[in-house]
Amino acid sequence: MTTLTTQPGTAVAHRLDEAVHLLPQTDQLRALHTIVRDRDARREDFVFYTGRIIRMLTEAALNLLPFEPHDVTTPVGRTYRGLRFADKLVGVPIVRAGESMEAELRAVVPGIRIGKILIQRDRTTKLPSLYYTAFPEDIATRQVLLLDPMLATGGTALAAIGTLLELGVPEQNIVFVTFITCPEGITAVRERHPGVRIVTSAIEERLNENAYMLPGIGDFGDRYFGTD
Ligand code: PRP
Ligand code: URA
Ligand code: MG
């Protein structure tokens, strides 16, 4: 899977395989990453500039959803043969760090339904525990944008995806939107759930012995919420 690692300075293909969608590695994106990966970044800069990238990820994820034809009449009386979302949507942030992605989704899809799933990784074993869920009752018929900025070992993502599948959501209806990931996390999700698509802004080299990504960004939740 090392071929999936982001190559600095290159315009990597948007679609690395049928399920992994990497944002174009533009200079602007790399400049934004440079700000937020800096260990000395101020918290307000971390929150603001991760928000910029999360907006890009949100737009890219929406591009993957199914659309259907929808015509409208323009003010000059002509028909515009347009499109609209074919299905209802729901955003599902994985609490806690996933909540950093909710505002950008709400900003581009006003009134979107939001489910919640609270999963925490044990600080020592790194194994995830599921504590709480709240979903729209018709979630099985919706396109699900599953939000978590970090896909590391994949344990949290697999627990969240498993919960959605138990509720009847098809794999093909799940788009996992993540700020950064790594080959280990991608492999874990791809092997168990090949129908789930992943949208990310960077693919790191690997995990370290504490299951943090390298070069990485540190603990996203702690940096975003100020609990470090
Ligand atoms: C972090 C991160 C992901 C998870 C990724 O959550 O937000 O949810 O780890 O790691 P994994 O792929 O190895 O499971 P964490 O439980 O540490 O806490 P937080 O969301 O409250 O910051
Ligand atoms: N969670 C984080 O916040 N960062 C990592 O690198 C891995 C898991
Ligand atoms: Mg988390």
CATH numbers and ranges of domains, the chain? 2-65+85-225 (3.40.50.2020)
Number of other CB atoms surrounding residue 93 within 10 Å = 25
Gap from CA of 50 to ligand 1 centroid (Å): 16
pLDDT tens-place string over residues 169-226: 999 999 999 999 999 999 999 999 999 999 999 999 999 999 999 999 999 999 999 9
pLDDT in tens, 191-207: 999 999 999 999 999 99
Mean pLDDT value across the chain: 94
Summarize the confidence of residues 92-108 as an average pLDDT.
98
Which among 63, 52, 83, 66 is positioned nearest to 21, based on CA atoms? 63
**Distance from C-alpha of 61 to C-alpha of 189, rounded to nearest angstrom:** 17
Residue predicted with more confidence, 57 or 1: 57
Best mutation site among 213, 217, 222, 225 for ligand 2 pocket (most ligand atoms within 8 Å of CB):
213
Which ligand sits closest to the CA of 157? 1
Mean pLDDT of 127-141: 97
Q: How far is the CA of 121 from the centre of ligand 3 (A)?
A: 7
Mutate to test the pocket of ligand 2, among 219, 222, 228 (most ligand atoms within 8 A of CB): 219
pLDDT of residue 4: 59
For residue 55, indicate whether it is catalytic: no
Mean per-residue pLDDT, 6-23? 66
Alpha helices in 124-210 (DSSP H): 155-166, 183-192
